[in-house]
Structure 1
Amino acid sequence: MWNSYLNSYKSFLQLEKSLTDNSVGAYLGDVMKLVQYLEAHELKIGPSEIGLHHLQSFIHWVANLGMSATSQSRIISGIKGFFKFLVLEDVIKYDPTELLEAPKTSRKLPDVLNIKEIEMMVDAIELRYSKKGKNQGLDSYEGYRNKAILETMYSCGLRVSEVTDLKISNLFFKAGFIRVTGKGNKERLVPIGQAAIDHINVYREKFRDHMKIQTGCDDLVFLNRRGSGLSRVMIFYVIKELALKAGIKKTISPHTFRHSFATHLVEGGADLRAVQEMLGHESITTTEIYTHLDSEYLRQTLAEYHPRYIHNL
């Protein structure tokens, strides 16, 4: 009964949404859980007969299986996507998921680096490389490359996979943009700052352009000493080591630079839609996580603008 709808939905996700096989499998898996619930309760009904009470019972059933609130929310999101598709295709007239609520989940904001801390990490690169006790600083291949990587991540807010996959053919420095391939193989143009452009150019001119490059890696911007592409793990390792060297105690990862990029833009007054476009977020709600303000900023705002705020009680 449900197979034809699932096959149509699969084609929609692949062709219209251009999602990866893993993402398509995840969305279909969410709907299959609903089908399993119906079969377990011997409810022989199709999508057009599903009501809000069925879905609420389904979520209760999922919760009793021991799934976390986060997992439940993801399943609900998948179910909502499926029924929106059915409305779009005129299979059903009413979307039963409109009033379906996800369980409350706590969302822990990742650490953010301030400008000084970002400068400390970049500066730490000059101290990172040594050989037989002699500081080589930026006279090393990794130093030039890693400085270019950090500047690019912070300048453009890239995901770590977007850094490792960045191609020379997608650098449009004269226009001040780079083309990035993000999730679901979706391409977007992202502005790039002059500091990042300069460091990429120096890295290429001094080292990359003189390397023996492995087959298939000719177009990749960032390479290891062997002339092949960098792994995501390698960039994680570099970031962790630099944070340690700089004496930064926060939990740092490549995503920290992406998060800092967006947070600094939003706090500086940037339009949220523009930030969404640069980050490659499909939904504006994903971008809204970057609108958080630290408690000290809120306290200062209250102290400055609230007429009845009292200091030092």
Structure 2
Amino acid sequence: MEDELKDFTHYLIVEKGLASNTIVSYERDLKSYMKYLQNVETMKSFNEVQRVHIVHFLAHLKEQGKSSRTLARHVASVRSFHQFLLREKAADHDPSVHIEPPQLEKTLPKVLSLEEVETLLDSPDDSTHYGIRDKAMLELLYATGIRVSELIGLKAGDVHLSMGFVRCIGKGNKERIIPIGHTAIEAIEKYIQKGRPAFVSKKNHDDALFLNHHGKGLTRQGFWKILKGLARDAGIQKELTPHTLRHSFATHLLENGADLRAVQEMLGHADISTTQIYTHVTKTRLKDVYKQFHPRA
């Protein structure tokens, strides 16, 4: 069973070209699936699996308190895997064909108001090289809406300040060219001239744009720690996630009349239905404003 899983992982990397984080999620889900089949259902081959076994596996996850979103992700992983096995003739049937994912509750992304964004972006102390770096990262995130994984994956040569755009590699190794405004350009220029040289180590020659105190590229965990500290210092009470500035970028563009297709392209969404969630956010915010300020609301 381990061999089939390795073959599937190779397929995801080579043929599908999925992002490393996506592949890790698939592997994690399928390892728990395989462990259940081997230890609980005592199976030695995926070809033995029937629909009822997958139903039992999902019930097992639910008993462990897994959320509907986690269950839906497991269903997607299991279905993709069994489709692969059938296509490669490693199995003679697909037991997942009639398995439906659970209904998900629609949760609107958390966004910051314009005032909160201004407060957050002004919170780094740009008299230090750490503050100069943090200011540049926040300005770039809000200016472009790129993901944190894309931010920390940027190389020094990916930012073209004279032309006003940044090149990033998103999910599925897809390249995007995103414009950046003058405020972000100024912050990045200052970081490249005065901030980044202070992080460069003689021993390490990392070409990542944003570096840590070891001269290496920042990690997701490192950025998340920085963001939480800055939000705390800025007195922002809302619960932040690494995607908060991305959500705020999209929402504020749409609130100011941006075209949905243009926002989709900048965010790198494959399906416009993913981008449309932000139209619901703007409608919700309009209702809140109406209730707050209309005298007969």
1:78 aligned partner: 77
Q: Aligned partners of 1:172 and 1:143: how far apart in 2?
A: 22
Q: Secondary structure at the match of 1:223?
A: coil
Partner of 2:284: 295
Percent pairwise identity: 36
Equivalent-residue separation in structure 2 for 1:65 and 1:210 (angstroms): 48
Take 2:96 and 2:256, find their aligned partners in 1: how far apart are those partners?
Answer: 37
The aligned counterpart of 2:180 is 193
Closer/same/farther in 2, CA of residues 182 and 58 from structure 1, 3 Å limit: same
Aligned residues: 290
3-state SS of paired residue (1:28)? helix
Matched residue, 2:41: 40
Query: How far apart, in 2, do the equivalents of 1:286 and 1:24 lie?
Result: 21
Q: How does 1:62-101 map to 2 (within 5 A)?
A: 62-64=61-63, 66-85=65-84, 97=96, 99-101=98-100
Alpha carbons 2:206, 2:217 under 8 Å: kept = no
Query: Which residue is 2:24 aligned to?
Result: 22
Check conservation: 1:158, 1:258, Cα contact below 8 A: yes
What SS does the aligned partner of 2:112 have? coil
RMSD after superposition: 4.0
Match of 1:243 in 2: 231
AA in 1 matched with 2:118: E
Contact 2:158–2:168 under 8 Å retained in 1: yes
- Cross-structure match for 1:252: 240
Give distance in 2, aligned partners of 1:45 and 1:16: 22
- What are the ranges of 5 or more consecutive residues in structure 2 without an aligned counterpart? none
Shift in CA distance, 14/30, structure 1 to aligned 2, threshold 3 Å: farther
Give the superposition deviation at 1:153: 0.8
Q: Give the partner amino acid of 2:47.
A: G
Q: Does 1:150 align with 2:138?
A: yes
**Partner residue in 1 for 2:159:** 171
- 1:13 corresponds in structure 2 to 12
Separation of aligned partners in 2, 1:142 and 1:150: 12
Q: CA deviation at 1:166?
A: 1.8
Structure 1 residue runs of 5 or longer lacking an equivalent are: 129-137, 303-310
User: Highest CA radius of gyration, 1 or 2?
Assistant: 1
* Distance apart, 1:297 and its partner CA: 1.5
SS in 1 for 2:123: helix
CA contact (8 A) 2:129 2:195 kept: yes
- The alignment's TM-score, normalised by the length of structure 1, stands at 0.71
SS at match of 2:110: coil
Q: Deviations over 1:127-168 (max 9, x none)?
A: x4xxxxxxxxx3332332222111101112233333233211
